[in-house]
Amino acid sequence: MAEDILALIKENVIQGRVTRDDEGFDEGLVGQAGVSELAKEALAQGVSSQDIIKLGLSEGMDIVGQKFEAKKYYLPDMLASAKAVGAVMEILEPYLTRSNIKPKGKIIMATVKGDFHDIGKNIVSILLRGAGYMVKDLGNDIDPQVIVAAVREEKPQFLGLSALLTSTMLRMKDTIQALTEGGVRDKVKVIIGGVGTSEEFAQSIGADGYGADGFQAVRVVDKLNTSRKD
Amino acid sequence: MLVIGEKINASNRSVAEAIARRDREFVASLARAEADAGADFININSGMKNGSQEYEAETMEWLVEVVQGATDKPLAIDSEVASLIEAGLGKYQGERLIINSVTAEPERLASIGSLAAEHHAWLVALAMTNGIPSSVEERLDACEQIMAYLTRLGFTAEQIFFDPLILPIAVDSTQGIITLKTLEQIKSRYPGVKTVLGLSNISYGLPRRGLVNRAFLLMAACAGLDAVILNPLDTKMMSLIKVADMLMGKDASCRGYMRAHQKGILVD
């Protein structure tokens, strides 16, 4: 019974359907329960929120990631799935606080000083949340010192930096420098992304990782997260 | 419809590499290709490398010189940094000129706005202050501030090219309409001003982007678009621009369309 409903949640994450009125990636699904109806039903059946996240949401998003990489899914498909995950996480939130379940890790996200592009950063934040991380999004145009203060205060394991302009890419370097000067560089793994950035660029400014798209960002964080625990 | 060719932009990797090694022929042939394909203006974006301010200014000067040597088309000097625009202007000998661009940010309006006023340039003004607003109202607020400031600097309406801006439709399904409504409002509020768009952002993240871009060009033309920043080597798009002008009543006796047909450059 629990397996059935978890499989349905997973399937509807893949389809990107929040409620029963939503269209999915495939035709003919309108009228069938979406993830929010299914998640409530699962909780009523006594399925744990942990199982919903792991076996429903995360496994569903893994498949979405594969489809995206295979070019079967495009940005709107991926965002519909991410929205479905977000809707379930909202339903689960009170249960998660009550049951004292720890997230996989904590991540601070920011678009650097002078840059106001937030679409990419928001997509990465959604996907990281869907993958079970706690994400604090500082927003756009964030001063290095504000980021340093947030790292000190929030003690995240990861910091995600975004920049889309050739003129602001180097602000990521300044931010990493500020972390060093603030004595917190070794407290946090820094992952960067944005048009114009690359693996080589990430290395050249002393970042720990680079994500070419949202799914890659999740994979890089997962990988760093595992090695952190070893 | 005025076509501003976008190819000479350092955010394109091959262009950035050509600029870095000062490959005169690469840049010149790109400019010639854009001009031959029907671009009215050649946009020049020299980018920003890790280098010093002098290096960046020198890069802009070099680009202006090379492109001017390759074609008679006027230039659009594209930077968000006033000192770089100034460097480009120093080398520019043409009469007509576009400066691309300002926002409603007061510092940029003051510095870049004054440069444009001094050189009697056409000025692209983005309907934003910091970050692209997601609503029509906020974009129009930015236009209002820009309009007030530029009018004080002595700009005529005809000198101002408002860009109503585009956010990807894949991220928010209302963004196409928001751009079109902003465009219509700008045209009705400020008689005489021009409008311009960089089209390709609309299709970000979608398959068959060219199809989406072309459809949106027609819709924007209908809403009053006057100029477009795009790749003029895209023959399907350039054909559609001829069609848009004709269908919007800007092509008496269909001369422009028929001439394009005679030249064999219409592609459907």
DSSP secondary structure string for all residues of A181-230? HTT-GGGSEEEEE-TT--HHHHHHTT-SEE-SSHHHHHHHHHHHHHHHH-
- Which amino acid belongs to residue B21? R
H or E element at residue B18: helix B13-20
Lowest pLDDT segment from A194-198, A207-211, B213-217? A194-198
pTM: 0.87
Over residues A183-196, the mean pLDDT reads: 94
Say if residue B155 is in the same domain as residue B266.
Answer: no
- Residues A166, B49: C-beta atoms closer than 8 Å: yes
- Report the Cα B109 to chain-centroid distance in Å: 18
Domain parsing of chain A, residue ranges:
2-99, 106-229
Q: Which residues of B touch A76 (CB under 8 A)?
A: 170-171, 205-206
pLDDT at A230 over 60: no
Q: How far is A47 from chain B (nearest CA, A)?
A: 33
Put simply, whether A143 touches B (Cβ < 8 Å) is no
Q: Do B131 and A195 touch (CB under 8 A)?
A: no
State whether B218 and B255 are in the same domain: no
- Across the interface, whether the CB atoms of B11 and A117 are under 8 A apart is answered no
pLDDT at B73: 97
The nearest alpha carbon in chain A to B133 belongs to A116
Q: Which of A193, A22, A51, A170 is nearest to A122 (CA)?
A: A193
| pLDDT for A182 beyond 70 | yes
The distance of A160 to chain B (nearest Cα, Å) reads: 19
Is the pLDDT at B50 greater than 70? The verdict is: no
For residues B133 and B264, state if they share a domain.
Answer: no
Confidence (pLDDT) at B79 = 93
pLDDT in tens, B160-213: 999 999 999 999 999 999 999 999 999 999 999 999 999 999 999 999 999 999
Cα dist. A22→A35, A81, A82, B163 in Å?
Answer: 10, 12, 14, 34
Which residues of chain B does A165 touch, with a Cβ-Cβ cutoff of 8 Å?
A: 48
Looking at the 3D structure of chain B, how many domains does it have?
2
* Residue A222 tokens, joined: 């997962």
B156 shares its domain with B257: no
Query: Can you tell me whether residue B77 is helix, strand or coil?
Result: strand
Task: Note the pLDDT of residue B34.
Answer: 98
For the ranges A30-44, A133-147, B39-53, B62-76, the lowest mean pLDDT is seen at B39-53
CB-closest option in B49, B167, B170 to A75: B170
Q: What is the CATH number of domain A106-229?
A: 3.40.50.280
B130 touches chain A (CB under 8 A): yes
B9 touches chain A (CB under 8 A): no
pLDDT at position A96, please?
Answer: 82
Tell me if B11 and A166 make a contact (CB, 8 A cut-off).
yes
Q: Do B243 and B177 share a structural domain? A: no
Q: In degrees to the nearest 10, what's the CA dihedral of A73, A79, A85, A91?
A: -150
pLDDT at B219: 98
Q: What is the pLDDT of residue A226?
A: 87
* Residue ranges making up the domain that contains B65: 2-231
CA–CA gap between residue B175 and residue B168 (Å, rounded): 7
- The tokens for B75 are 């230039």
What is the percent of chain A with per-residue pLDDT over 90, rounded to a whole number? 71
Mean confidence (pLDDT) of chain B: 95
DSSP B247-267: HTT-SGGGHHHHHHHHTT---
Q: Find, in chain A, the residue whose alpha carbon is nearest to that of B204.
A: A75
Residue B242: Cβ within 10 Å count: 21
Q: Do B138 and B162 share a structural domain? A: yes
Which of B89, B99, B48 is CA-nearest to residue B68?
B89
Pair B246, B145 in one domain: no
Max Cα–Cα distance, chain B, nearest Å: 54
Distance CA B92, CA B24 (A): 17
- Same structural domain for residues B123 and B176? yes
pLDDT value of residue B189: 97
Q: Are residues B122 and B36 in the same domain?
A: yes
Return the minimum-mean-pLDDT range out of A190-199, B61-70, B100-109: A190-199
Cis peptide before A198 (omega within 30 of 0): no
Residues 30 through 89 of chain A touching chain B, CB cutoff 8 Å? 71, 74-76, 79
B185 and B244 together in one domain: no
Q: Where are the beta strands (DSSP E) in chain B?
A: 2-9, 41-45, 75-78, 97-102, 122-126, 160-163, 194-198, 227-230
| pLDDT class of A8 with cuts at 50, 70, 90 | very high
| Closest chain A residue by Cα to residue B208 | A74
The fold adopted by the segment(s) A2-99 is: 1.10.1240
Helices within A45-192 (DSSP H only): 49-51, 59-69, 75-99, 119-130, 144-154, 169-181
CATH number, residue B90: 3.20.20.20
Residue of A nearest to B172 (CA): A76
Is B239 found in the same domain as B210?
no
Q: Domain check: are B216 and B248 in the same one?
A: no
Percent of chain B beyond pLDDT 90? 91
